[in-house]
Amino acid sequence: MAPAPGTPDPDAILDLRGVDKAFNGVSVLEGVDFSLRAGEIMALIGENGAGKSTLMRIVTGIITADRATTMTWRGGPAGFATPRRAMDAGIAMIHQELNLLPHLTVAENIGLGREPLTRLGLIDRARLRRDAAALLARLRQPIDVDRPVGTLSVGQQQMVEIARALSLDARLLIMDEPTDALTDVETAVLFEVIRGLKAEGKGIVYISHRLGEIFTLCDSVTVLRDGRTVHRGPVAELDEATLIRHMVGRAITDQYPYLACPPGPERLAVEGVSAEGVRDVSFTAAGGEIVGFAGLMGAGRTELGKAIFGASPLRAGRIRVDGQEVRLRHPRDGITAGIAYVPEDRKAEGLIQPHSIRTNMSLAALARFCRPGGVIRRADERAAVDRFMAAFAVRARGIGAEVRTLSGGNQQKVSLAKALMLSPRVVILDEPTRGVDVGARREIYGLINELKAGGLCILLMSSDMPELLGLSDRILVMAGGRLTGRFARGEATQEAIMARAVG
């Protein structure tokens, strides 16, 4: 149980009070209080850009606070000068954005910087591989430790990050949205592991935008709003509506707004499609329809999305858009055919991190803003970018801000805007609200529904079950690259879907 803001907690292992931080003169944290006891699972929640990652990056020595009343870790000073020192003091963090080296193997990534040595002082590869395999077994992830990390799905990479953090055997483990690419089954395994760490007396900071998880897993909660601590207390004293009010300062009703639309004509037909990770998939989808795709990690949903978009070559089958067969050899072909794709991995595939919001949003759609002769109508481009900035409530210093300086959820909004800027006929959304806060999710859902009402055909791939059940007109289930179940909206339940997903 956390004491009132400002009062020290004598039992805390980590105690931060009055923490201030600004970037380029803009205040991001103001007088933040945060504390945690041994054996406590503390949720840290707040809207996108509230300052959660920034606060935890201060704890792990990646950045330093501008000012603080006190910062203590196990009785001594916290506020480490480097990540290495924080690690040596027993603090580990799983970062929000994937931080793995794609060309190294799973085992090499897990052991990076702490490789076991043989007596001759060489890297003990056998042990490196054995340790990695043991950690992955603990997470029940039978991933081949010799595979290059870049060939894994985002969810699998997230598991590798988690395994890497576990290998440090830290006293405090900070998890910044560890489940945002995991499905229910993998999340349940992770929660078991976290409860095990709690039982060993370790402290856990758990950051997530899936509010259901806070109630399942966490003991206490700290809420940040606009860089200030607005609530601290036990989870048991809260309900979801109150938590949301603390986070966004107002109530949000109808979190997953379903919009019933009269079914339009068939827009997309996928016939016997096989591709990398996809086997003989057939379905159709109409304009004004949201078709949800469920499945466990590695079921082939992302691969299917890529095949339909032209980012992964078809081995068999045909794809028609508005009755016309489309030949897809390259994502460009997908765009020309009116198919847009919002990738799951915004960092690697979606956005150019060092470029501005404006460039990222409009790059793929620049042709639309061109006069004959190739002159870009900057005013039109600007107006389009401004419209999406407002519609998605992107929180940034301006449209010139570099994408890498945005919080994770705001990056996701930019990635979504980039695809919609193309005015597609079919849009494939792969985890569209990964890392997006409850208020902004509601805005994005509203926008998806508007697009739906406008006759767009939407394929929604999501590992967030309430989102999938809440928004979809139909749900298709995948397992092992195949379609294994089809449910109409009224028939779909979490249990029925899971049975097909594991089957």
Ligand X SMILES: Nc1ncnc2c1ncn2[C@@H]1O[C@H](COP(=O)(O)OP(=O)(O)OP(=O)(O)O)[C@@H](O)[C@H]1O
H/E element holding 292?
A: strand 289-295
Least Å from the CB of residue 397 to ligand X: 8
Distance CA 273, CA 493 (A): 27
User: Is 222 a residue that touches Mg ion (CB under 5 A)?
Assistant: no
Nearer to ligand X, 46 or 292 (CB): 46
User: Is 334 a residue that touches ligand X (CB under 6 A)?
Assistant: no
Distance CA 300, CA 412 (A): 22
Nearer to Mg ion, 96 or 302 (CB): 96
Contact 503, 484 (CB under 8 A): yes
Least Å from the CB of residue 338 to ligand X: 31
Distance CA 138, CA 164 (A): 12
CA distances from 201 to 39, 164, 335 (A): 4, 20, 52
Least Å from the CB of residue 18 to ligand X: 17
User: Is 28 a residue that touches ligand X (CB under 6 A)?
Assistant: yes
User: Is 96 a residue that touches ligand X (CB under 6 A)?
Assistant: yes
User: Is 439 a residue that touches ligand X (CB under 6 A)?
Assistant: no
Least Å from the CB of residue 68 to Mg ion: 20
User: Is 408 a residue that touches ligand X (CB under 6 A)?
Assistant: yes
Considering only 42-50, 150-158, 307-315, 420-428, which stretch makes contact with ligand X by CB under 6 A?
A: 42-50
Least Å from the CB of residue 399 to ligand X: 13
User: What string marks each residue from 297 to 326 as x (binds ligand X by CB under 6 A) or -?
Assistant: ------------------------------
Identified binder of ligand X from the candidate list 46, 155, 432, 439, rule CB under 6 A: 46
Distance CA 323, CA 149 (A): 39
Tell me the two tokens of residue 17: 């009070």
Quickly list DSSP for 91-145: EEEE-SS----TTSBHHHHHHTT---B-TTSSB-HHHHHHHHHHHHHHTT----T
Output phi, psi for 293, to 5 deg. -120, 120
Identified binder of Mg ion from the candidate list 2, 9, 16, 53, rule CB under 5 A: 53
Nearer to ligand X, 287 or 435 (CB): 435
Distance CA 315, CA 322 (A): 22
Nearer to ligand X, 210 or 452 (CB): 210
Contact 166, 135 (CB under 8 A): yes
H/E element holding 498?
A: helix 494-502
Least Å from the CB of residue 395 to ligand X: 6
CA distances from 218 to 30, 212, 233 (A): 25, 10, 11
User: Is 179 a residue that touches ligand X (CB under 6 A)?
Assistant: no
Considering only 167-175, 187-195, 369-377, 399-407, which stretch makes contact with ligand X by CB under 6 A?
A: 399-407
User: Is 18 a residue that touches Mg ion (CB under 5 A)?
Assistant: no
User: Is 408 a residue that touches Mg ion (CB under 5 A)?
Assistant: yes
User: What string marks each residue from 350 to 389 as x (binds Mg ion by CB under 5 A) or -?
Assistant: ----------------------------------------
Smallest Cα–Cα separation from 146: which of 111, 113, 117, 108?
108
Residues within the interface to ligand X (CB under 6 A): 23, 28, 46, 48-54, 96, 395, 405-410, 435, 437
